[in-house]
Amino acid sequence: MKFLQYAVQDHLAYITLNRPEKSNALCYELVSELRVAFKKAEEDNTVKIIILKANGDAFCAGADLNYLQELQTNSFEQNLADSDHLKALFLQICELRKVVISQVHAHALAGGCGLATVCDFTFAAPEANFGYTEVRIGFVPAIVMVFLLRKIGESKAKQLLLGGSVITAAQAFSMGLIHFISEKQKLEHEVRRFANQLIENNSAYAMGVTKQMIAKVQSLPIEEALSFASEMNAKSRGSDDCRKGIRAFLKKEKINWKT
């Protein structure tokens, strides 16, 4: 891959943005590589958790402005296809059967902020900044808006999307935009430790189904949501992991789901 590094170690898939000279700004090729990498990690049975990180002085500066300028000569249909490409990536992460953790060591802005916060968990260094700055350049934070509203609610989303301001990691944490703050030199260790806790303590099958249900039930009317939930409840009872978990619970045995 040209703009990414991909590695698997100890049941963890590391997807690393590697376009540091452009602050890991998003372009069509980088989004394409991300979609391929996430699909590869999802289909790898040895991978339990996916970690998204970045090389360089920024996590991701959002869309490559030179690329956006080139798109201004495109037709509406061409621009729609390009927008759908990014939409597909965000939806893929949201609906992925595996937990995705973003490891944000430095600033994550606009689409880069969306990329980090559409993940299931976000760890950030104290010096990392976050913001949806699109309105400052006459652009619209359209795709990320859908996910942000679901994540932090309308009032806080308006503050970020309409204000266009850049906030600190501490402010992002207080708004519910990120989940954990860790010193930069300890960030990778803390992410790995948390990921390993999930792997050892929780069923990968159960986490995957739960994550996909969270993504789906919010868009359903309550009766449909409950019917879907009842169906998934019944299916999960027949799973190998559920049988294994109940058997161990009744025998008072501790399960290490990593094995």
- Report, as residue numbers or ranges, the catalytic residues: 134
Decide if pLDDT at 68 tops 90: no
In this structure, are residues 60 and 26 in contact, taking their beta carbons and an 8 Å threshold? yes
Least confident of 68-82, 88-102, 164-178: 68-82
CA–CA dist 68, 154 (Å, integer) = 28
**The length of the chain, given as a count of residues:** 259
CA–CA dist 16, 172 (Å, integer) = 22
3-class DSSP state of 120: coil
The mean pLDDT value of the chain amounts to 93
Which residues have a Cβ under 8 Å from the Cβ of 113 and sit 6 or more positions away? Answer: 60, 62, 130, 131, 132, 144
CA–CA dist 196, 204 (Å, integer) = 12
Please tell me the class of the 4-198 domain: alpha beta
Residue 193: other Cβ atoms inside 10 A: 11
Residue 250: other Cβ atoms inside 10 A: 8
Side chain identity, residue 249: F
% of residues, the chain, pLDDT over 90: 80
Decide if pLDDT at 229 tops 80: yes
The DSSP result for 2-33, as a single string, is -SEEEEEETTEEEEEE--GGGTT-B-HHHHHH
CA–CA dist 221, 83 (Å, integer) = 28
pLDDT in tens, 197-227: 999 999 999 999 999 999 999 889 999 999 9
Mean pLDDT of 52-78: 86
Residue 42 pLDDT class (50, 70, 90 cuts): very high
Residue 76 pLDDT class (50, 70, 90 cuts): confident
CA–CA dist 161, 139 (Å, integer) = 11
| C-alpha torsion angle, residues 230, 231, 232, 238 (rounded to 10) | 110
CA neighbor of 14 nearest in space, from 22, 23, 4: 4
Side chain identity, residue 71: L
Q: What is the pLDDT of residue 139?
A: 87
CA–CA dist 174, 169 (Å, integer) = 9
Pair of tokens at residue 119: 């993940």
Going from N- to C-terminal start, the domains of the chain cover: 4-198, 203-250
Decide if pLDDT at 86 tops 90: yes
